[in-house]
Structure 1
């Protein structure tokens, strides 16, 4: 098998609807492409759905930048406890590593966004640090299982 054919053989497609939602930090978070699902080695990507009034609790990523792109709706992000940024459909936001951030939907329309984190933390449990109490509805749910770096 040629190198090109071998690379094509490992291409994997994953449907967001086939991934179990995680609500531990708030909203509906689905890690779609990750070391666990597609053997990625540089980061992971997923979807975030926030109903009106929902939020993702404040946290930070000690090893990763987070890229957030809003497909539908409008959300508000609080960065580093003070900076408020509204992000609407067709707009993206990059949160530098180490900065605490929280996002919420204070509108009347559902928000649908795509996120990507890169690079990967050395181990999945080191990837997120929570800095506020988690929503009670998801506090007992496990952390998203993105797998570890290959």
Structure 2
């Protein structure tokens, strides 16, 4: 299908926020990359990690944060900023603002999104069900 509605895909939740993967190789016939929206809660973030077999692009929709790439000092990011993370490079994103930090994330090739399912705080909310920003 060429149209994906937000309510048609599950939401992955974590202590630090949530993700909706709209396009993935596993769920979208013919797709070779992954595309989704990430929400980082205030003061939270996705800590240092890498994707050994994929490059990543992050596009900031709203909010502010600190972005680290290649273990260099973090720099501020905000709406309209685009971050390119080469294959295998360590990176992290932390929300340093008072509101949720919303990002578009793209993996090429797709696949790294499956690694998130192994995190201890991973929970999946079924498609069509509203996820809460703070889990209780």
Same fold (TM over 0.5): yes
Larger radius of gyration: 1
- Structure 2 residues without counterparts, runs of 5 or longer: 125-136
Equivalent pair of 2:23/2:31 in contact (CA under 8 Å): no
- Structure 1 residues without counterparts, runs of 5 or longer: 1-10, 144-150
Larger strand fraction of residues: 2
Cα deviation per residue 1:43-64 (whole Å; 9 max; x = unaligned)?
1100001121121122101111
Matched residue, 1:141: 122
Matched residue, 2:31: 41
Tell me whether 1:100 sits opposite 2:90 in the alignment.
Answer: yes
- TM-score in terms of structure 1 length: 0.69
Give the 3-state SS of the residue equivalent to 1:99 in structure 2.
coil
- TM-score in terms of structure 2 length: 0.75
Equivalent pair of 2:68/2:91 in contact (CA under 8 Å): yes
Equivalent pair of 2:42/2:100 in contact (CA under 8 Å): yes
* Structure 1 segments (4+ residues) deviating >6 Å: none
How far did residue 14 of structure 1 move? 1.3
Match of 1:70 among 60, 73, 78: 60
Compared CA separation, residues 25 and 140, structure 1 to 2 (3 A): closer
Equivalent pair of 1:77/1:86 in contact (CA under 8 Å): yes
Equivalent pair of 1:43/1:119 in contact (CA under 8 Å): yes
Tell me whether 1:16 sits opposite 2:6 in the alignment.
Answer: yes
Cα deviation per residue 1:8-40 (whole Å; 9 max; x = unaligned)?
xxx421123432222348321121111233224
Give the 3-state SS of the residue equivalent to 1:22 in structure 2.
strand
Matched residue, 2:129: none
